[in-house]
Amino acid sequence: MLLRGLVKRQQRAPFLLALALFGLCLLGLAISIWPYVIPARVTIWQAAAPHASQSFMLVGAGLMLPIILAYTAWACWVFRGKVGEHGYH
C-alpha cells in the first residue's frame, strides 16, 4: 500500500503508512527485548527511578506542559500570516 500510494503521488497515505511501519518496527524491538532495558542484564523494574522521584517529575510535567502548550499557541497566533506565498527567503 505504501508503494502504491507513492506511485499514485498521494501525500497523506504514504506518510501515515511510513509512520505506522516505523512504529511497528519500534514495537517489535520492544517486544523482542522485554523486560530487559539492557539485554540479559537490567530489567525495566531495576532501571526505574524511585517512586518519590517519579511523583516529583509528574507534578513538574503537569505544571509545565500547559505553560509550554499555551506559549506555543500564543507564538503561532502572533506570527500567523507573516510569511507570504514565496516563503521566508
Sequence spans of domains, the chain: 2-78
* Cis geometry, peptide bond prior to residue 50 (ω within 30 degrees of 0): no
Whole-prediction pTM value?
A: 0.54
Task: Report d(CA 19, CA 8) in Å as an integer.
Answer: 18
Would you state the pLDDT for residue 39? 84
User: Mean pLDDT over residues 70-75, rounded?
Assistant: 97
Would you state the pLDDT for residue 2? 87
Q: Do the bridges between strand 42-43 and strand 36-38 make them parallel or antiparallel, or are there none, so unpaired?
A: antiparallel
Task: Report d(CA 37, CA 29) in Å as an integer.
Answer: 11
SS3 assignment for 3-21:
HHHHHCCCCHHHHHHHHHH
